[in-house]
Structure 1
Amino acid sequence: MEEAPVQTPLPRLEIRNLVRRYDGRAVVNDVSLKVMPGQVTCLLGPSGCGKSTTLRIIAGVEMQDSGEIHVDGKLICDTVFRVPPERRQIGLMFQDFALFPHLSVAENVAFGLRTSRPEKRARVRELLERVHLLHHIDAFPHELSGGEQQRVALARALAPRPRIMLMDEPFSGLDNRLRDGIRDETLDILREEDTAVLLVTHEPEEAMRMADQIALMRDGRIVQQGAPYNVYNAPVDRSAMAFFSEINVIRGTVRNALTDTPFGQFLVPGAPDGLEVEIVIRPQHIKIDFDRGGRGPNPTPQDGTPARGVVERARFMGAESLLEFRMDHDGSRLKASVPNVFLPKAGTVLWLMIRRDRCFVFPVKG
């Protein structure tokens, strides 16, 4: 007896080849994305890259020039067919909580419900209990803190049981002390509801903390997608790497598949002679030999050749110290981060090594 084939679950949200133009310029340019039930996907990128426009198209408040949107495998919008926004079962949360000031907490949460009064009352109480605000059921928005208003906005968005939640930087207006706890609570509730979440942010740290998947956007396109670990540790280009952290860039020219650097020669297999390349490494992957000082370190094979640098500046950043060096080899400048407090004086000579397995080689663009 043959076993039944395993069915691949359908994405809760799927967008295919979305394009939106303003004055002939594509602000959303061939964007495709899938979000599964209970999954949090972050659209990450700088301001103006098309993140919020993509969200507005999915919500139905703006029309695409081409492309399709599917929910649970069913088409809800293309350039001919369009399900109205109120029938898409999509919730929205924005930086501005947009609570109605003249309505109580209970009335705000109940606003989008189209059920009987007893069912409405039960749903409101259930949600306010989940966000720990049942004791404020009769309060008005101006009587609540920013964090409490955010939780009311979440309860209101969840009340109609949306299949998808679109969130446009909803935590950016909160105090840093509150933000981590509130966004963790918010995502816990959304996952419990099996809601697919598409979150827009320009903060890499927030995306890394919250997302199951990250879609990195630039100039209207998604340039890289994947789990946070993979996007961070396997960047597609220098700009993608620089978006997540400070970087050091060492430039060189390929000769016989090798390029010279202060740390010895780097292999660039398959690159033609004369190609200008950039070897990019994060400050935390530059190592300092504290024991040998000016005598020079004994490197391991992965550390490559040691190089002398002269400290130009050292700053304490809280959890780490950031040192800026001028390299003896070619006068280039590099940054290294060191855990805890390490603040050598300007002019101090130290030997540096780099983690070759943490270096990325990219061709110079343009």
Structure 2
Amino acid sequence: MPQTPPRLKVDAITRRFDGRDVVTGVSLSVAPGQVTCLLGPSGCGKSTTLRIVAGVDRQDSGRIIVDGDCVSDDERHLPPERRGIGLMFQDFALFPHLSVGENVAFALDGGLRRNRERVGDLLERVDLGSFIDAYPHQLSGGEQQRVALVRALAPKPAIMLMDEPFSGLDNRLRDDIRDRTLAVLKEENTAVLLVTHEPDEAMRMADEIALMRAGKIVQRGAPYHIYNNPVDRAAAAFFSDINIVRGVSHGALTETPFGQFLTPGHADGTPVEIVIRPQHLRIDFDREGRGPNPTPTDGVAARAVVERARFMGRESLVEFRMDYDSTILKATVPAVFLPRPGTPLWLTLRRDRCFVFPS
């Protein structure tokens, strides 16, 4: 079966400000119905990339291709209104003097009068059909966000660009609004490029994540792949808290409080870091480290003393000071588990969930 050609292709774009590269060699593609997320910390270049795709900024080199046609390179640069791209930003920017229906129909020829059926259908799909004649000040923040979404979709853009569109919403509403938005975008078969600094949002919405750092894409892939196969320690830490066990590789082995770890590919004498997420650090009450449900991946148990324990709502977070070298490690435990500070316990690692990186 032939592969669907991408709606959007970003080809090796670079952008400089004051002699400094803000975006460096960024390439990606987005197919119809696909959600690609540019994920990274503030200042990493993701919003600049989005503005270049939109046409409100211009790259110093590279190309932007929409449905097979180059819309921007060294010689040409189509303005935003000629690219067939929808834009949705954190600021909903609804016109307060226009009704909801008039806001949605703003970019349509003939306005609301000639497009009332299309506008009404879009509003119905986000459960706002009865608000077509209301005004923005009569809506909640979440409802305004949905109006902004259908306004961007009304002209049937091939591509939707979204820059932190949910960050202004109450946390309790955010998941519901994300799911509604994703459903409508999928129904429209729109190619979506979403910018966010929140890993949870990227994991929830994206088919593909492009992780950015210092103007470059450092890793691309499905959310599951990036989470479970981080390219480096910083990538692992961006998605969750991490624990770090340090050692030195000798003969492709590294001694740790939890026994020897295989560290192939690291020369003798290379300092390494063994990274483990808190949910994969196990608490074991048996001094022999065998526990009630031993697994062959757990290896040797190491003794530690409880420093602090907190209940977080769905799980408990327990901090330990290791006997071996006094480092602090964190473990998460389902439900309520609040041992007193000073309680000695034994810990094991899920070796199949560890990542090894050079220090």
TM-score by length of 2: 0.96
Question: SS of 2:268's equivalent?
Answer: coil
| Aligned partner of 2:98 among 96, 103, 106 | 103
Q: What is residue 325 of structure 2 aligned with on the other side?
A: 330
- Counting only pairs closer than 5 Å after superposition, residues 111-122 of structure 1 correspond to structure 2 as 111-115=106-110, 119-122=114-117
For residues 130-166 of structure 1, the C-alpha deviation after alignment (integer angstroms, 9 at most, x for no partner) is 2222211111111111111111111110111000000
Query: Any idea what SS the aligned residue of 1:128 has?
Result: helix
Contact in 1 for aligned 2:56/2:80 (Cα 8 Å): yes
**What secondary structure does 2:58 align onto?**
coil
Summarize deviations over 1:316-349 as a string: whole Å, max 9, x none. 1111111111111122221111111011011111
1:69 maps to what in 2?
Answer: 64
Give CA-to-partner distance per residue, 1:246-290, whole Å, 9 cap, x none. 000111111122111100111111311111110000011011114
Match of 1:192 among 187, 191, 210: 187
CA distance in 2, matches of 1:170, 1:19: 25
Q: Judge conservation of contact 2:280–2:349 (CA < 8 Å) in 1.
A: yes
2:64 matches 1:59: no
1:3 corresponds to which residue?
A: none
By how many angstroms is 1:301 displaced?
2.6
CA distance in 1, matches of 2:245, 2:127: 52
Closer, same or farther: CA 82–296 of 1 in aligned 2, 3 Å:
closer
Tell me the SS of whatever aligns to 1:271.
Answer: coil
The CA deviation at 1:7 is 3.0
- Matched letter for residue 259 of structure 1: T
1:348 to 343, 348, 354: 343
Amino acid corresponding to residue 171 of structure 2 in structure 1: N
**Corresponding residue to 1:297 among 290, 293, 296:** 290
Preserved contact between residue 71 and residue 78 of structure 2 (Cα < 8 Å): yes
In structure 1, the partner of 2:238 is 243
> 1:284-324 deviations in whole A, cap 9, x for unaligned?
1011114x2x4643554311111101111111111111111
Q: Distance in 2 between matches of 1:312 and 1:329?
A: 15
- Give the number of aligned pairs: 357
For 1:118 and 1:107, how far apart are their aligned partners in 2?
Answer: 9
Whole-Å separation in 2 of the counterparts to 1:214 and 1:347: 42
**Would you say the 8 A contact 2:105–2:112 is kept in 1?**
no
Contact kept in structure 1, 2:112 and 2:119, CA below 8 Å: no
Task: Provide closer, same or farther for how the CA distance between residues 310 and 184 of structure 1 changes in structure 2, counting only shifts above 3 A.
Answer: same
Structure 1 segments (4+ residues) deviating >6 Å? none
Gaps of 5+ in 1: 1-5
Per-residue CA deviation, residues 38-57 of structure 1 (Å, 9 max, x unaligned), is: 01111111011111111100
The amino acid that maps onto 1:159 is A
The question of whether the paired residues in 2 share the 8 Å contact of 1:94 and 1:168 is answered with: yes
Q: How does 1:153-302 map to 2 (within 5 A)?
A: 153-290=148-285, 292=286, 294=287, 296-297=289-290, 300-302=295-297
Q: Cα RMSD over matched residues?
A: 1.3
Give the counterpart of 1:47 among 42, 52, 58.
42
- Structure 1 residue identity aligned to 2:343: T
State the SS of the aligned residue for 2:116. helix
How far the C-alpha of 1:117 sits from its partner, in A, is 6.5
1:149 maps to which residue?
144
Structure 2: 5+ residue stretches without partners: none
Give me the whole-angstrom Cα distance separating, in 1, the residues matched to 2:192 and 2:116: 26
The more displaced of 138-147 and 56-65 is 138-147
Is the contact made by 2:233 and 2:357 (CA closer than 8 Å) also made in structure 1? yes
Distance 2:313 2:186 in 1: 34
Q: What's the CA shift string for 1:204-254, capped at 9, x where partnerless? A: 011111111111110011111110000000000000000000000111111
In the superposition, the TM-score normalised over structure 1's length comes to 0.95
Does the CA-based 8 Å contact 1:76-1:82 persist in structure 2?
Answer: yes
More displaced, 13-22 or 73-82?
73-82
